Amino acid sequence: MVEQKLLRSGWARMGRNKRYIIWFFILNVLLAWFGAAAFNHQVSGILDHSLYPQKLVHGFDLAVFIEMVARPEFGPTMASVGPATHFALLFFFATALFLPGVLQGYASTYRLPREEFFRACGRNLWRFIRLLIVAGIVMGIVAGALFAIRGALLKQAAESTNELLPFYVSVATLCVIFLAMAALRIWFDLAEVDVVLSDQRAVRRSIGSGFRHMWRNLGTLLGAYVVATIVGAIILVGGIWVWIRFVPAPSVLGAIFISQLTLLLLLIPRFWQRGIAVSYYLRNMVEPIAVQAFTPTPIAPPLITSVVSEPASPVIPNIPPPDRRERSPLNTSLQHDDGDASIAAAEI
């Protein structure tokens, strides 16, 4: 179940970044074209002035090819092998240069900008070179030891009376070697992902982390890688079958089209495996970030700095109460009139 999740997740990451496959294919074709230019120059000097090599122009005859290479005018084979080897090494260097950007793009949830892609490539170039040197040494030692053991077992099996035993031993030892080398490939793929995504400068730490996770989940990772490898084998066998079955021998363009299409499709399992490694890293190798509980800081009540003024009461002037003994002239006249009226009434 986990293996299926890894396969689906890796396929989804590869599908969202199909442009990387196209660019690597174009780079491969250009470098192969330049690498084959020297051989083309040597061959054209012979094929352009003879009718006999028509068997190579409109098909392929192994005897004619060997005879052509053995002719003195063909020149030394190193004149064509040397440039092809140099451009193969250049493609290897270009892979180490651009692969960090591919891994960064696989881990991103958005379309990685061009600036970030090349920034990741430049930042991890020397780290990848050191990692590939260590991987080459380890894989070379392990492969040499396994093939030495295979040779010893085949020698012992040849001395047996069972005629099929050497064949069974050969197949079994090849399967063991394939699984062992696939496990080493997983180990260093995880180390490459850790170097890029964790921005790890100490390559030895990424190598150690990759080995621990490879060993801890060997069955799951090995199963996913083997499925991708089987898909690649099916593509290769299918391309060869289509070439033999449907492409006529004189059709040079048809042979070029089928061969290049097969090489393009063979890049899919390789990038699929890279997507599987990135998916595993993001699920199992990323250290969780400790989240502390949020404790809100008590907030003091705000200080009131302004005094709210109450509405002012009306100002009443302080006037002393009038003296009751004082009389106004009008009241005095009235009192005189009342007094006169009372006197008149008394006289009457």
3-class secondary structure, 269: helix
pLDDT given for residue 84 in this prediction: 82
Q: Determine contact, residues 225/270, Cβ cutoff 8 Å.
A: no
Q: 252-280 vs 218-246: helix axis angle to the nearest 10? A: 170
Give the pLDDT score at 207: 94
CA dihedral 125, 130, 132, 133 (to 10 degrees): 140
- Half-sphere exposure of residue 146, counting CA atoms within 13 Å on the CB side? 18
Residue 148 has a pLDDT of 95
Structure tokens at 158: 């040849």
Taking the whole predicted model, whether its pTM rises above 0.85 is answered as no
pLDDT of residue 332: 47
Q: What is the pLDDT of residue 244?
A: 87
CA distance 218 to 215: 5
**What does the pLDDT read at residue 348?**
39
Distance CA 273, CA 13 (A): 10
47: burial class by Cβ within 10 Å (0-12, 13-18, 19+)? middle
> Exposed, middle or buried by CB within 10 Å (0-12, 13-18, 19+), for 80?
buried
Q: Provide the pLDDT for residue 345.
A: 41
Residue 264 has what pLDDT? 93
- Say what the pLDDT of residue 102 is: 95
**Residue 303 buriedness (CB in 10 A; 0-12 / 13-18 / 19+):** exposed
The confidence score (pLDDT) of residue 44 equals 72
- Residues of the chain short of pLDDT 70, as ranges, are 1, 45-62, 71-75, 287-348
Please report which residue ranges of the chain form alpha helices under DSSP H: 2-16, 18-35, 37-47, 54-57, 62-70, 78-107, 114-123, 125-158, 165-197, 203-216, 218-246, 252-280, 329-347
Q: What is the DSSP letter of 285?
A: I
188 token code pair: 């260093």
